[in-house]
Structure 1
């Protein structure tokens, strides 16, 4: 869904982008909630760029190995929000939009390499420029992928919160949607791995966009 096959070198290049992307994503959820009047995330110690506060070790390992994963979710209390429905959407979108911004900035930096006439393919495997280039390139592709993945309206992804904000569901019904949506999402990802079919070709789409820019 998010990634194709990575060898060990690709995996090493991808680690900074994954860590930064997940940390920034959850921090922006926390910041949005705090700015909108809810201090739950701040009280939980989530209003920080410390990756240890945000990254779930199992979720991180999954995204490295399987191409999907998760971080520690940021909690907020809608009772502290002036406009709960609207503010829920803002909080939900803050995370994915931070990944989009990071992806675009990283892609711009990668473009500067080619504009500067630096030919990465001609450099030794572990040359500094080559390493920096691929770390930034993977940061771009991973975070663009995280943006698209998280705005899908599938529970428990951020896009589902935007979807639910426009519906007058009871907490019980929404909880059931979240439960079944989570099951469906894992089933879809498992089916992709088992069949080799990219049912939601996020990785292929992102790679196409990146190739057009570069």
Structure 2
């Protein structure tokens, strides 16, 4: 029976601190309390992004637990503590740098699963898919006020911050679902590949996330990718106006932008 002790499932104080920082930054953005609204948005985006990374990795671990790997509890993966991840650089530092550099959400693999404990290819695929599906759910949550038509009275800065957070979650879900070694998308298809193919691909796994990020720096690829992201967000009633100003506020170190008021503007 797949289970874990109460101590192994206790939520980490580190994660609770991240949630508290996110809550305070949300309040600061909503009330325009900070002298620098951009810094408040930055704090909200970074703390919210790290919280989503923790949930992403927790989804992998929790699915693995139910698949038969009890070791995830002993490793602390069920506590949502980012300090317990096996590759803190890949799971926390690099994704945050990617966000700052290009507004791209790209979580990396961070939990070690004892795959020999898992029986069945479908279970292996589901463990890998659980992370990107968490990003999809996060994106639906932060865009809910948009597609539910509940944005009346919402402060502009908060609206833009939500839109940029949604963009990050969507890019994370799509990019991490690519069948590239080292990303979750490859983990979904890997169980269905022959042993020979898996052995040939294995050496490239550590470089997959960097290769994807590098390809996205090609102007033509970057434009096509974000056109697709904008199309999906538009279906959720989030406009390019929203995401653009959200990213501009996020980059507070470049100076606080003069954002035009939404009054009298119809967002299609």
Show the counterpart of 1:133.
159
Show the counterpart of 2:54.
23
1:111 shift after superposition: 3.7
Show the counterpart of 1:73.
110
The runs of at least 4 aligned residues of structure 1 exceeding 4 Å deviation read: 8-13
Show the counterpart of 1:64.
99
Output one character per residue of 1:164-210: Cα deviation in whole Å (capped at 9) or x when no partner: 1111215xx525413335546534532442x4232684433222221
Is 1:92 the counterpart of 2:128 in the alignment? yes
Aligned-pair Cα RMSD in Å = 2.8
Partner Cα distance (2:200, 2:160) in 1: 42
Greater RCO (CA < 8 Å, at least 6 residues apart): 1
CA contact (8 A) 1:149 1:202 kept: no
1:80 shift after superposition: 1.6
CA contact (8 A) 1:89 1:161 kept: yes
Show the counterpart of 1:125.
none
User: How many pairs does the alignment contain?
Assistant: 193
Is 1:101 the counterpart of 2:124 in the alignment? no
Is 1:177 the counterpart of 2:208 in the alignment? no
Output one character per residue of 1:93-142: Cα deviation in whole Å (capped at 9) or x when no partner: 11111111111121113344x53523x6xxxxxxxx33433332222221
5+ residue gaps, structure 2: 1-37, 238-268
Is 1:46 the counterpart of 2:77 in the alignment? yes
Show the counterpart of 2:179.
153
Show the counterpart of 1:206.
229
1:61 shift after superposition: 3.4
5+ residue gaps, structure 1: 1-7, 121-128
TM-score by length of 1: 0.75
CA contact (8 A) 1:17 1:143 kept: no
Output one character per residue of 1:20-49: Cα deviation in whole Å (capped at 9) or x when no partner: 221111010000001111022211111122
CA contact (8 A) 2:146 2:236 kept: no
Structure 1 residues 201 and 53: alpha-carbon distance in aligned structure 2, compared to 1, 3 A threshold:
farther
1:160 shift after superposition: 0.6
CA contact (8 A) 2:179 2:186 kept: yes
